[in-house]
Chains A and B, each alone.
Chain A
Amino acid sequence: MRPLLTVLRKELRENLRDRRTFVSALLIGTVLMPLLVGLLVNLTVRRGQSQDNKPVSLAVVHGERAPGLLAQLRQYRIDVITVDLDDAAARDAVRQQQRRIVLAIADNYASQLAQGQPAPVLLYSDSSDVAGASDVGRVRAVLGRVSSETARLRLMARGVDPTVLSAIAVQDVDVATPTSRSVLILGTLTYIILLTMLMGGLHVTLDATAGERERGSLESLLTVPVPREQLIYGKILAACVFMVLSLTLNVCAMALALRYVGLENLGMNVNLNLPTILKLIASCAPLAPLGASLMTIVAAFTRSYREAQTYVGLVLLIPTLPLIFANTLGLRPTVWLMMVPSLSQHFLVTGLLRAEPVAPLYAALSVGVSLLLGVAAAYGAGRLYHREALLG
């Protein structure tokens, strides 16, 4: 046991002096990532605010044919701008994004309206312009409302009850709580937290394996009277320490950053108080031994530091698993899924961020299975370091 601690202590001391470890373990996690998330959330918040308040501007061709419609549009806070474009020019204007939406009133609009027939209008928009989608939606909804109001008035004028038009009365009930709504925005947070954690141990692992071999100190190290497993376990443990350190700093910095981005303006409440922070760390940390061991295993097969850098980076793809499976397939936690490392951490973190109670069985499964796999992988790494090809 003592040699293991000696190795651990030496790796910690050496890496704390290494600028590359400092950058990969501490700087990215504590400064860069929270800054990025803060910026992202801030932009989303601002855009959400501006969209709700800003009137939609709508270019109208031949507005003089439908003065009543224009007045109604203005009532619904739509800025009507009169323009003079023919069909081709209107298409071009929208395609080239000079105008987001163009409404053209047909020449028989007034006569059709007067006869109680559908009055034709053309609405030009670009469905591939994602940023404009909500504006188009609003204009379309307002047009729909104006249309149905006119229809109701017509029916009433003919002595028919307008409610016959409504066969089904749909009432929307949105059960999203403020906290759960913000999880949509913070959906990528799990990914960033797990990625930062694994990155924290990346350089330590590379340095302790491929780096040690390339510098020529590995062979000397293997001549000390200590079983190779103990040397490897010490190195894996050192990587775990840096991962957890990186994780802790990252979660704390993230909590701080999110406090300043003004989530409350969206009526959201991400409750990142101290107990939550501790639970977040406790949920993610059990993944560290597995990550560090896998990196060590991958590094054992590489011939140089550069090669190791390339392949060990693949381990960083692990936290994208939940993004791919949980988010796209809409998976919900089950006993079996809570045994999948990375995915189970994702469920725990989202649960904590939603302020939902976490089932103790699920939490225990996630922690237990991840740790167990980590120990198994560490054992495998220890076995691998008996290979003679290791010396290169």
Chain B
Amino acid sequence: MIEARHLHKRFGAVTAVHDVSLTAVDGRITGLLGPNGAGKSTTLRMLYTVLRPDGGDAFIDGISASAQSLEARRRMGVLPHGAGVYPHLTARENILYFGELHGLTGTECNRRAAELIDLLEMADFADRNAKGFSQGQRLKTALARALVHDPKNILLDEPTNGLDVMAVRTLRALLLKLKAAGRCILLSSHVMQEVAALCDEVIVIAGGNVVADGTPDELRARAGTTDLEEAFIRFLEPAGRP
């Protein structure tokens, strides 16, 4: 379970996140929806502890992200925006490296890497150097790397950016599988259709604030339209005004 309570973050004079509170529960996929620059990435970065909030706090399974960040990180698998891999290591070595950093021991680490290579259908490129990987292959490697320690909570920042249809399908299937296994999944996106197709809960962020949340159906009903895109635009409009 991922919980944010009144997160606030400034970069110099610019306030990236005003006040964001949200809850993502286990066994569900929660989508963080918002236009570019709404504060989605900054919010996620505070959740996965690479940024320190200026106000408020985040809790991963009840553990404070700011006070016990190492313990919180252990419970998270993170796919940052545009995650890169090490070009001179093979896909398998990329996964093993993170497994070891997560404290997995030799045989356990190997077993887990093999499992993920199987799950993500990476067998044909698993032992090739990552240098010439396609974007889809890179994403799978980065994703496997993020899941190597079998985390309870999974955070993904714009995971489908730049992927082709097939890769998006694989990713969706995997996320649904993880959801069925009771994982808590929080992903950000600026693409409506994707969120509608995948998420059980949607949190709309604009201008560093939460402007709406609920299931896709609830959001449609609240906006008084059957079109989710139309609903999204309606939620954004008041926030867009200064």
Contact = CB atoms under 8 A, between A and B. Distances in A.
A129 interface: no
B74 A216 contact: no
Given A10-B97, A225-B71, A391-B50, A220 B88 contact: no
Interface stretch (B78-86, B178-186, B189-197): B78-86
Contact of B98 (A15, A216, A219, A224): A224
A220 B103 contact: no
B73 A224 contact: yes
B78 to A, nearest CB: 4
Contacts of B49: 223
A223 B78 contact: yes
A225 B103 contact: yes
Nearest to B142: A220
B111 interface: no
A10 B76 contact: no
Given A17-B129, A215-B84, A217-B86, A223 B71 contact: no
B130 to A, nearest CB: 10
B89 interface: yes
B36 to A, nearest CB: 18
A97 interface: no
B70 A225 contact: yes
Interface string B92-106: 010001101111000
Interface in A272-322: none
B146 interface: yes
B87 A220 contact: no
Nearest to B145: A220
A50 to B, nearest CB: 50
Contact of A224 (B51, B82, B102): B102
A220 B71 CA distance: 16
Residue of B80, B85, B93 ringed by the most chain A CB atoms within 10 A:
B80
Contacts of A220: 78-80, 83-84, 98, 142, 145-146
Contacts of B28: none
B88 A219 contact: no
Contacts of B74: 225
Contacts of B85: 215, 217
A225 B88 contact: no
A14 B97 CA distance: 11
A226 interface: yes
Contacts, number: 78
Interface string B135-173: 000000010011000000000000000000000000000
Main secondary structure of the interface of A (DSSP, over half): helix
The number of chain B residues touching the other chain, given as a range, is 20 to 34
A13 to B, nearest CB: 7
Interface string A224-235: 111100000000
A264 interface: no
Nearest to B49: A223
B78 A3 contact: no
A219 B89 contact: no
Interface in A83-118: none
A18 B76 contact: no
A215 B131 CA distance: 11
A177 to B, nearest CB: 50
Contacts of A388: 50-52
A26 to B, nearest CB: 16
B48 interface: yes
A215 B50 CA distance: 17
B70 A219 contact: no
Interface of B: 45, 48-52, 70-71, 73-74, 76, 78-89, 93, 97-98, 100-103, 129, 142, 145-146
11 contacts: A7-B101, A10-B97, A17-B88, A215-B84, A219-B45, A219-B80, A219-B81, A220-B145, A223-B73, A223-B146, A225-B71
Given A13-B93, A219-B81, A220-B146, 19 more contacts: A6-B97, A6-B100, A14-B86, A18-B88, A215-B86, A219-B50, A219-B80, A219-B83, A220-B79, A220-B84, A220-B98, A220-B142, A223-B48, A223-B80, A223-B146, A224-B73, A224-B101, A225-B101, A388-B51
Interface of A: 2-3, 6-7, 10, 13-15, 17-18, 215-217, 219-227, 388, 391
